[in-house]
Amino acid sequence: MAPLPQVRILPQVLFQVLEGESILLDLQQEQYFGLNEVGTRFWQLLAETADVPAVAAQLLAEFDVDEATLHQDLADLIAALLANGLVAAVDDVAAGA
C-alpha cells in the first residue's frame, strides 16, 4: 500500500456535526460538502492530531474494517478533499498555497 498523503485542514473550512454526519462549508468557494460517519471521524481526528497515519490507526481501532479497505477509503476521501480545496498537502501548506 502506498502511504496516505499528509494533509492539513484549511482555515476557510467550517465543520459542523449533524446526527453523526457532518457538513463542511468552504467560505471561499461558498459551497457545502457532506461527510459520512467515517469521514466525520477522520475530520475530527485530523483536526486534533494533524497526523494522517495516526488518524488511520485510530480509525482502524474504532471501526470494524480491515486495513486494506480503510486505507483505500481514506485515500479516496483525501483525494476528494484535496480536489475540492478543503485540505492541502502539507508541502503546499508550508509553501503558503
Determine the Cα–Cα distance for residues 7 and 65; give it in Å rounded to an integer. 22
pTM summary value = 0.88
The candidate with the shortest Cα–Cα distance to 7, out of 88, 63, 94, is: 88
Asked if residue 92 has pLDDT above 60, the reply is: no
Count: domains in the chain:
1
Residue 64 lies in a domain: yes
Q: How far is CA 4 from the centre of its chain?
A: 11
Is residue 5 situated within a structural domain? no
pLDDT, tens only, 10-61 = 999 999 998 878 999 999 989 999 999 999 999 999 999 999 999 999 999 9
Is residue 4 assigned to a domain? no
Please give the residue that has the higher pLDDT: either 7 or 95. 7
Whether residue 3 lies inside any domain: the answer is no
| pLDDT for position 64 | 94
Looking at residue 95, what is its pLDDT?
Answer: 47
Question: pLDDT tens for residues 62-77?
Answer: 999 999 999 999 999 9
CATH number at residue 80: 1.10.10
Considering the domain boundaries, does residue 1 fall inside one?
Answer: no
- DSSP conformation class of 85: T
- The whole domain housing 63 covers 11-94
Q: What's the distance, Cα to Cα, between the start and end of the chain in Å?
A: 28
Residue 2 covered by a domain? no
- Domain assignment present for residue 48? The answer is yes
The pLDDT confidence band at residue 97, using thresholds 50, 70 and 90, is very low
Residue 66: exposure state from Cβ atoms within 10 A (0-12, 13-18, ≥19): exposed
